[in-house]
Structure 1
Amino acid sequence: MTETLRIVPVAQHHRAAWDRLYAGYAEFYRATQTPEMRDRVWSWLHDPAHEVNGLIAELGGVPVGLAHYRSFARPLSASVGCFLDDLFVDPAARGKRAADALILHLGALARERGWSVVRWITADDNYRGRGVYDRLAKRTMWITYDHTP
């Protein structure tokens, strides 16, 4: 029997699973994250006035992945794009195409909204993720910098 993979907007009943997945994402990137930080992001996801939105990948009704995204202006092309901030799939569910489904769902959403691109960054050593990304998207030549104010 094949388990059904669905992509749904993040909802209040996803809180415990989202918390576990987002903590796993932070751990993967060795990022310091507290429950208070997750509370803040969770509040953003449910605030219609906030720019951040969320999706959940459910496999057989069980949340196994998340994606956080937002629109962004692209002045040079006079268009709007979609930025995929966070993408994470539970290690136990990897290989079942949940990441593919989240990215392809965002692509469909981008088409519906007239967004010109779905863009994201990843760590150079995220080899498994990059294997997925190389199949679904085109790697760019851009190098990312962070300036701490």
Structure 2
Amino acid sequence: MPTIAPLTAADHTDWLPLWQAYLDFYESAVPTEVTERTFDRLVEDRELHGALARDAAGRAVGLVHWLLHPATWSTAPYCYLEDLFVAPDARSGGIGRALIGHVRDRATEAGAAKVYWLTREDNATARLLYDRVADATGFVHYEVTLRKEP
């Protein structure tokens, strides 16, 4: 079973390749300054939170990022699981489930009413897990881009 621990400044070199692989999976890119600021914000652990999963040998094999926010349909906050990634060679070993469980535990400790996340409709591998640990809501995601990162 993996060990999961909050991100620390010392985790940067282990986190960065997982973050880049996650962005590559979604055919996305962010500027270096956004990546570095994101990591700093995750380590500060004020609004954004992050954790790494490590295998028995101590190798970083997964990451998860989340945030808590107020909600209009609840007096308790909601927890948005924003990023979840497991290295391809470490998949199907319970790491994704463990990372979701980690966020669920943190959200429970914070008094959140629910944990929710998005994924691409065609992300069939991840959806096999998601369908086992959560309820599909049937909602469709829309967004309006207000600004592009530099």
What TM-score results when the alignment is normalised by the length of structure 1? 0.92
**Distance between the aligned counterparts of 1:46 and 1:128, measured in 2?**
29
TM-superposition CA deviations, 1:52-79 (whole Å, max 9, x none): 1101111112110000100011112222
Aligned to 1:90: 87
1:103 aligns with 2:100: yes
Q: 1:143 aligns with which of 140, 144, 148?
A: 140
Distance 1:48 1:100, change over 3 A: closer
Following superposition, the deviation at residue 142 of structure 1 comes to 1.5
- Identity across matched positions, percent: 33
Q: Which amino acid aligns with 2:94?
A: R
Count of residue pairs brought into register by the alignment: 145
Change (3 A) 1:20 1:9: same
> Once the 2 structures are TM-superposed, how far is the Cα of residue 48 of structure 1 from its aligned partner?
4.2
Matches of 1:23 and 1:34, distance apart in 2: 11
Map Cα deviations across residues 42-100 of structure 1 (whole Å, 9 max, x no partner).
11112244x11101111112110000100011112222011000000000101111110
Q: Which runs of 5+ in 2 are unaligned?
A: none
Amino acid at match of 2:70: A
Instruction: Tell whether the 8 Å contact from 1:56 to 1:65 is kept in structure 2 after alignment.
Output: yes
**Which residue does 1:112 correspond to in 2?**
109
Using the alignment, how far apart are the partners of 2:34 and 2:109 within structure 1? 31
TM-superposed CA distance for 1:112, in Å, is 1.5
Question: Residue in 1 aligned with 2:9?
Answer: 12
CA contact (8 A) 1:23 1:33 kept: no
- Return the letter of the residue paired with 2:40: S
**Which of 37, 40, 43 in structure 2 is aligned with 1:40?**
37
